[in-house]
Structure 1
Amino acid sequence: PEYESIWALGNDTGVMDLGAVIKANHICDKLGMDPISLGSTIACAMELNEKGYIKEEELQGIDLKFGNAAALVELVEKTAYKDGFGKYLALGSKKLAEKFGAPDLSMSVKGLEMPAYDPRAIKGIGLNYATANRGGCHVTGYTVAPEVVGIPEKIDPLSPEGKAKWVKIFQDLTCVVNSTVNCLFTTFAIGAKDYAELLSAVTGWNISEEEIMKIGERIYNLERVMINKLGFDGKDDVLPKRLLKEKMPEGAGKGQVVELEKMKKEYYELRGWENGKPTPEKLKELEIEL
């Protein structure tokens, strides 16, 4: 398993048995399940149980506690077949937490579970989670690159200042990378200028760096128009409440929360959006006709 899978099925559930984590990940791969979402959902169920929201008879004999390796492996397979308690896990953490009366325990955005990066310690990734069109997705706008790795330049991960600009840049560039069917991690080494040169060479067109970024911006806004039509808007560009109120207990981000509204206001202004929706002026600028 790779980094995210180890975190979701291991650290998030408190399971330190690497063999169990590998087996759980193998089952996910074999049966077509996302280990990030499933690991986070199982961890949500463990917390629901720990806090008394789940009745013992609903667990059908499963010892649903953090750190229980056997329970982890059993529940992964039960989820795939909606067997026993697995039918509740198959709903995902959002509907699971709602069903058992504690919606705030789901660590998801727009119904998609967030990955390993805690946004209290990496503020830009928090803004990206909130505004990502598909939900809590780190690879929609991987600001971990400048905030942690220092590519293309190092910025302070604990500061909310200037994060709106970086989130927009990475979201737009990622749309181009995805559309060229390339790996996102190429952006650790090459940027918009390089993609402009590559696409110019392949197509014979004279594509500039600015045009590359506008292509990405057009794609991102078109995605946003599509989810607006499905009922999503600014009310859904949010993070789990606990990340805004509960201070990070330890680590480099100790004492931090996410200052989401401040960052989101600047982000909307840069995007040309109102309440999570592109304005008619922005759509016209991007030549998007509805």
Structure 2
Amino acid sequence: RNILPTRNFQAGRDLQSVKLAGERLRDELLVKRDGCLSCPIRCGRHVKVRGREGKGPEFETIGLLGNNLGIFSLEDVVELGQLCDDLGLDTISCGGTLGFATELSERGLFESSLAWGRVDAYRSMINDIARRRGAGDELAEGTRRLAERYGGEEFAIQVKGLELPAYDPRGCFGQGLEYATSNRGGCHIRGSTMFLEATGPVSVNPHGTRAKPELVVLQQNTNAAVSSLVMCYFSAYATLPAAVYRMDPNSRTYKLIMGAMERSAPLLRLALRSRSKMKVMWFEKLLSAATGRDIGMGGLAEIGERVFNLERVYNLREGLDHKLDRLPRRLLDEPTFAGRERGVPLGDMLGAYYRLRGWDEQGRPTTRTLKRLAVDT
């Protein structure tokens, strides 16, 4: 899909990426799968590497501590991920910051021992970050603050101070819009629009902007509602019919369905305004049983919309305004796909997104929107 961040998002893939494939982890390193009690997904992986058993890497760890740092030894990536876990460091932010610092060093803007593929240097720096010593003391502040001190803001891969996960939005434009507008910054688990564009069983034109504002709002609202139930969003994937996962992406039927989804903006707008009592996912049934209220698809969406707008109002109060609804210049201006002249066309989607949200041109929820959602400011 060409969306795997490589060497601080300079590219979307590498010929050696196959060495980090999930199939190799499954066949050579996996001891068992694990997960939360009674979970049907069981996303955890328990592995054995170089004689030591422990937690296996998630996709984000492989992407940000592997490809993004020019490391293509799965065993090394597993050990770096376990080191981050032991030290209490997030592998996404750590891998993103290490990638940015490496490119700064490569350009002569920052002095360090970091270099693409140098596992020993990255291992040492991770320890230094955790202990706030040497150059690690500065990296511990994250990508944004490092860019403020040393430059390179155009290739500092962060939004609102949060480093991006392992989905390059130049191959999934809706995900780019989601990153830019997420209340917590460059996060993929506040909507996961890439699942509908590039990583899931469907692929709604990853390089198109049609219906993307609608899909992003739908995903963000649904995620906010499910998260407020204190439930894992992975469980939402389990609600999709098995037939969806079995579709042949080369079939005429699949292509017709994807074409229809790309043209579904008017229907999605109706769905976003609907207060239907229909129960599409099992979350509505669970919430209805727990509260004694008849909550359907529309009610669940309204809960999510209220949460998202309340977060937005909080951010605005703290000074995080529409000027921060942006992506780094690298993702906007540097294409990674042949035949394309630029990256994510964020400007083509942001205005429509604001209007769908019921926000003004400055990205502020209107009085009418807040009143409708019973958000008291």
User: What TM-score do you get using the length of structure 2 for normalisation?
Assistant: 0.72
Aligned to 1:285: 372
Aligned position for 2:7: none
**Equivalence map 1:134-213=2 (5 Å):** 134-149=184-199, 154-190=203-239, 193-194=280-281, 195-213=283-301
Q: Whose radius of gyration is greater, 1 or 2?
A: 2
**Contact 2:358/2:365 (<8 A) preserved:** yes
**1:154 Cα deviation after fit:** 4.0
Give the CA deviation at 1:101.
2.2
Q: Percent identity?
A: 41
What CA distance in whole angstroms lies between the structure 2 residues aligned with 1:99 and 1:249? 32
Structure 1: runs of 5+ lacking an equivalent = none
Deviation at 1:203, TM superposition (A): 2.3
Post-superposition offset of 1:149: 4.6
CA contact (8 A) 2:333 2:342 kept: no
How far apart, CA to CA, are the structure 2 residues paired with 1:286 and 1:201?
Answer: 23
Number of aligned residues: 281
- For the pair 1:233 / 2:318, whether they are aligned, the reply is no
Distance in 2, Cα, partners of 1:269 & 1:181: 29
State whether residues 248 and 255 of structure 1, in contact with CA within 8 Å, keep that contact through their aligned partners in structure 2: no
Give the TM-score, by structure 1 length: 0.92
Q: CA deviation at 1:38?
A: 0.5
Q: Is the 1:283–1:289 Cα contact (8 Å) retained in structure 2?
A: yes
1:45-56 maps to which residues of 2 (within 5 A)?
45-55=101-111
Q: Determine if the alignment matches structure 1 residue 215 to structure 2 residue 297.
A: no
Query: CA–CA distance in 2 between the matches of 1:74 and 1:249?
Result: 35
Distance in 1 of aligned mates of 2:356 and 2:115: 44
Q: Contact 1:4/1:116 (CA < 8 Å) preserved in 2?
A: yes
Is the 1:247–1:255 Cα contact (8 Å) retained in structure 2?
yes
> What is residue 82 of structure 1 aligned with on the other side?
132
1:37 equivalent in alignment to 2:68: no
Q: For residue 18 of structure 1, report the CA deviation from its aligned partner.
A: 2.3
Extract structure 1 runs of 4+ deviating beyond 6 A: none
State the shift of 1:248 in Å: 1.1
Structure 1 position 100 matched with structure 2 position 150:
yes
**2:49 corresponds to:** none
Counterparts of 2:295 and 2:234 in 1: how far apart (Å)? Answer: 22
Residue 351 of structure 2: which of 243, 246, 265 is its match? Answer: 265
Q: What is the deviation of 1:255? A: 5.3
Cα distance, 1:32 vs structure 2: 1.1
Quick one: which of 113, 127, 145 aligns to 2:177?
127
Residue 243 of structure 1: how far off its partner (Å): 1.1
Question: What is the rounded CA distance, in whole Å, between the counterparts of 1:78 and 1:15 in structure 2?
Answer: 19
What secondary structure sits across from 1:277 in the alignment? coil
Unmatched 5+ residue regions in structure 2?
1-56, 241-278
Supply the distance in 2 between the matched residues of 1:212 and 1:54 (Cα, whole angstroms): 48
